[in-house]
Structure 1
Amino acid sequence: MEIIQFNDQPLAHYSYAIISEDKMALVDPSRDPKPYYKLAEQHHAKIVAVFETHPHADFVSSHLQIHKETGATIFVSKLVGANYPHETFDDGDTFQLGNIIFSAINTPGHSPDSITIIAQNNNDYAMFSGDTLFIGDVGRPDLREKAGNMKAKREALAKSMYKTMQTKFNHLPDHTVVYPAHGAGSLCGKNMSTDSSSTLGRERQENWAFKILTEDQFVEHILKDQPFIPSYFGFNVDINKTGADKLENNIAQPKFYFKVEEFDHDTLIIDVRKQEDFKRNHISGSINIIAQTENDKLETWLGSIVQPEEQFYVVLNSVEDKEDILHRIAKIGYEKQLLGLMTLGDSTFESTDRIDLEDFKSHPDHYTIIDIRNKSEVEESKIFDSAISIPLNELRTSKDKIPTDKPIVVHCAGGYRSAAGSSIISKLKKDTKVYDLSEAVSNFK
């Protein structure tokens, strides 16, 4: 079998192309179909099938666009209730691609409608496990919970995951290669390996979810210390159940403003420039979500800080960044609420004061310290005993929790998140000095 893995690093998302006899199938494709089309051209292959393991929460899939542009059949579980053209693919269903036979296993747990795709060619086996089985972990069961029934829903899915891990893969040989939809850095699980693939035999030996546990022990472990749920996750599930609009059409809509000299709108502004440039000069009230490299988690934090359908503008470092940032915003389906992108001209808007580090070291009690790390990070260790803990994703709705009788110092674990956090608090508390401890937090660990 020829299997090509694609890695969308900012979202730690893996997608796959499987090729046999000049035909190609895709599994869990990203928003932009172009990389898959390029691969198909290189291999002189026709894309005939798209498998969706479940309606994804953390990114928008291109399955419907690929179907419309190639004629490929979309395969998805009947439990999804998909609102796009598709064929159901559940326990016992098969599809042949050249000399490869694909089959489905219903594997509820991460979601009630998850399936694992098995590909077999003679004695070679591969499993595309979606968000069910990760390398070293399994998918979290709390992303489909509904207000008013939260505990019951997550516990029910956790029990489903227990049954899945106990019963669903027993017939597969140890040499089955495991290809998950995510790796370390994704919020769809909590302890994923940096490895991009594994074997079922290795996971049976090393993955905690295959250990001999009672159902209660399994449920307790899987529900403990799960990361926060970004605002956009439910929004993306809904988009993926219907199918997203064509990418190129959507990203052509936002306006572009070059070298802006003045800006007096009240609309939210997201500034993606590096921290130093933002602090030197930015439009008042902007939020600094840095997006200079693939290691910067623009997608995750944009979708955690900005609400679905909330309108916003984006400030770029350069016109050269426009296409990249548009594509990154579209990955989480936020391009429709993007009003425009801009670069700044020579006008002086607003600057941010730098903290007097020596004074802070000598008199930390003269400052209100806000720790914006996740709750699990704070529970593991506090950097400042007097700090008020407010996770970054909750800051915009926590104005009343932030006192203003002293200057405010904001910190995270390494400096990336505190750029966003300090800019949010500056917007909330305009009459109070707000400082970003940034990378200097390493001096206090």
Structure 2
Amino acid sequence: MDIIQFQDKPLAHYSYAIISNHEMAIVDPSRDPKPYYELAEKHNANIIAVFETHPHADFVSSHLQIHKETGAKIYASKLVEANYPHQSFDDGDTVKIGNSTFSAINSPGHSPDSITIIAKDDANNYAMFSGDTLFIGDVGRPDLREKAGNMKAKREDLAKSMYQTIKNKFNHLPDETIVYPAHGAGSLCGKNMSDAASSTLGKERKENWAFQDVTEEEFVKTILEDQPFIPSYFGFNVDINKEGATNSETAFSNIPLNFGIADFKNDNQLIIDVRSAANYKKNHIEGSVNIIAETEDDKLETWLGAIVEPNEDFHLVINSISDRETILSRIAKIGYEKQIKSVITLGEDNFKTFESLDLDSFKENPTEYTIIDIRNKSEVAEGMFFENAISIPLNELRNSVEKIPTKKPIVVHCAGGYRSAAGSSVISKLIDSVAVYDLSDNVKDFK
């Protein structure tokens, strides 16, 4: 069997296509199924199966669209109680695809309804598609399903389930089994993942902390502490994936376009501007929030889903009409495309500018400013950049205006400059009585 890994870099998401004797299976597909179709054409393969390891929280899957467009059967645990056409796939269930046999292992821990997919070919080669259960160097976080999905579970109970899964569920598999996770470093579905794209089960048994000789109590304590924040959209995506998403290409076909505008009458709804910080500061619609999406390294999906609530409408400002399809496709990955009221490109420099910080003055007199540190709590715990800074994580800013003093000019910083563009624009929208500045990448001068 041939295994092809696909990477969605902004979400640190891995999906897979497995081809055997001109038949193809897909595991945990991204929102846009086109890359899988192109691969099937290239290899003259029929897509006959889609495996969902669990209802994903951090992205919208295209499993239902692939089923409708190819006839492929969707396999998921019966515990999902999925509302899309599917075949239950749990402990003891198998399916033959080409010359390979696929089997299911119920592996609760990240979620109650998680399964791990095992593929074995005629040469006794094993591959393990572990979803969000086993990562390279870590295991999936157990705190995402307390408020989302039809099967709610307390984080402590799921942590104990993960302990049992790791200790007991994979013991029959050989060390040579290749481990293919659904996420790598940078994902919010775990905390200490490696940047390696795959591993072997033998290597994980030796090096992954979760396989070591620890008690259940020690395991639960370790897995629950210092987990990243949970973006607002995570529960929303679990529900979408349980139902099955709409077609990715038609999802944003009717969004209005306001091209090259010279003025904009806001209807008091949120405006998200995804242009560069430089372009935003030079010319932006008053009250808009700057979530940069210039490259794949910019985490538009994560921060849009952390700052904007599910079902909250917003207008979208892009740099150029040529960016429209790319940006909308990225937003569709978290299911927010239906919330976009219009797409906007700006004309001449007729809007607002964002005042630049006098860096020398700030360095000489930092106490003359209110400094807002918008890094995550775990980052702040490792050390503050400024002794008197007020810590408010970016994902909490919109609901924390009462925590921000307004007697001095405000300076916003993060760890490297990317998030502070969003943070300073959020605060500027909330507070107009004092100047708000973005320290940007100048924060590196204070490390």
TM-score range, shorter chain: over 0.9
Partner of 2:261: 260
SS at match of 2:246: coil
Tell me, yes or no, if the aligned pair for 1:57 and 1:236 is still in contact at 8 Å.
yes
Higher mean Cα deviation, 247-256 or 277-286? 247-256
Structure 2 counterpart of 1:87, one-letter code = Q
Q: 2:155, 2:117 → 1: CA distance?
A: 24
Following superposition, the deviation at residue 152 of structure 1 comes to: 7.5
Partner of 1:49: 49
Q: 2:265, 2:98 → 1: CA distance?
A: 59
Tell me, yes or no, if the aligned pair for 2:147 and 2:235 is still in contact at 8 Å.
no
Partner of 1:227: 228
Q: 1:341, 1:103 → 2: CA distance?
A: 45
Q: 1:146, 1:116 → 2: CA distance?
A: 23
Structure 2 counterpart of 1:17, one-letter code = A
Partner of 2:248: 247
Following superposition, the deviation at residue 382 of structure 1 comes to: 0.6
Partner of 2:169: 168
Q: How does 1:426-445 map to 2 (within 5 A)?
A: 426-445=428-447
Tell me, yes or no, if the aligned pair for 2:12 and 2:184 is still in contact at 8 Å.
yes
Partner of 2:77: 77
Q: 1:270, 1:314 → 2: CA distance?
A: 5
Following superposition, the deviation at residue 146 of structure 1 comes to: 2.9
Q: 1:336, 1:316 → 2: CA distance?
A: 17
Residue 154 in structure 1 maps to residue 135 in structure 2:
no
Tell me, yes or no, if the aligned pair for 2:263 and 2:350 is still in contact at 8 Å.
no
Structure 1 counterpart of 2:49, one-letter code = A
Tell me, yes or no, if the aligned pair for 2:59 and 2:333 is still in contact at 8 Å.
yes
**Residue from 282, 285, 289 that aligns with 1:283:** 285
**Alpha-carbon displacement from aligned partner over 1:219-267 (angstroms, at most 9, x marks no partner):** 0000000000000000000000000011111120211111011112121
Tell me, yes or no, if the aligned pair for 2:91 and 2:106 is still in contact at 8 Å.
yes
Following superposition, the deviation at residue 123 of structure 1 comes to: 1.6
Structure 2 counterpart of 1:66, one-letter code = I
SS at match of 2:249: helix
Structure 1 counterpart of 2:23, one-letter code = K
Structure 2 counterpart of 1:348, one-letter code = N
Higher mean Cα deviation, 250-259 or 412-421? 250-259
Residue 317 in structure 1 maps to residue 319 in structure 2:
yes
Q: 2:202, 2:227 → 1: CA distance?
A: 26
Q: 2:80, 2:365 → 1: CA distance?
A: 57
Higher mean Cα deviation, 346-355 or 222-231? 346-355
Partner of 1:237: 238
Partner of 1:20: 20
Aligned-pair identity in percent equals: 70
SS at match of 2:116: strand
Q: How does 1:11-410 map to 2 (within 5 A)?
A: 11-121=11-121, 122-146=123-147, 153-265=154-266, 266-410=268-412
Following superposition, the deviation at residue 347 of structure 1 comes to: 4.1
Q: 1:226, 1:144 → 2: CA distance?
A: 14
**Alpha-carbon displacement from aligned partner over 1:177-196 (angstroms, at most 9, x marks no partner):** 00000000000000000000
What are structure 2's unaligned runs of at least 5 residues?
none
**Alpha-carbon displacement from aligned partner over 1:60-113 (angstroms, at most 9, x marks no partner):** 000000000100000000000000000000000000001100000000000000
Q: Report the number of matched residues.
A: 442
Q: 2:85, 2:137 → 1: CA distance?
A: 35
Q: 2:254, 2:194 → 1: CA distance?
A: 38
Q: 2:25, 2:367 → 1: CA distance?
A: 60
Tell me, yes or no, if the aligned pair for 2:180 and 2:197 is still in contact at 8 Å.
yes
Q: 1:143, 1:391 → 2: CA distance?
A: 19
Change (3 A) 1:144 1:152: closer
Tell me, yes or no, if the aligned pair for 1:262 and 1:347 is still in contact at 8 Å.
no
Q: 2:227, 2:298 → 1: CA distance?
A: 21
Q: 1:431, 1:264 → 2: CA distance?
A: 22
Structure 1 counterpart of 2:219, one-letter code = F
Following superposition, the deviation at residue 340 of structure 1 comes to: 1.2
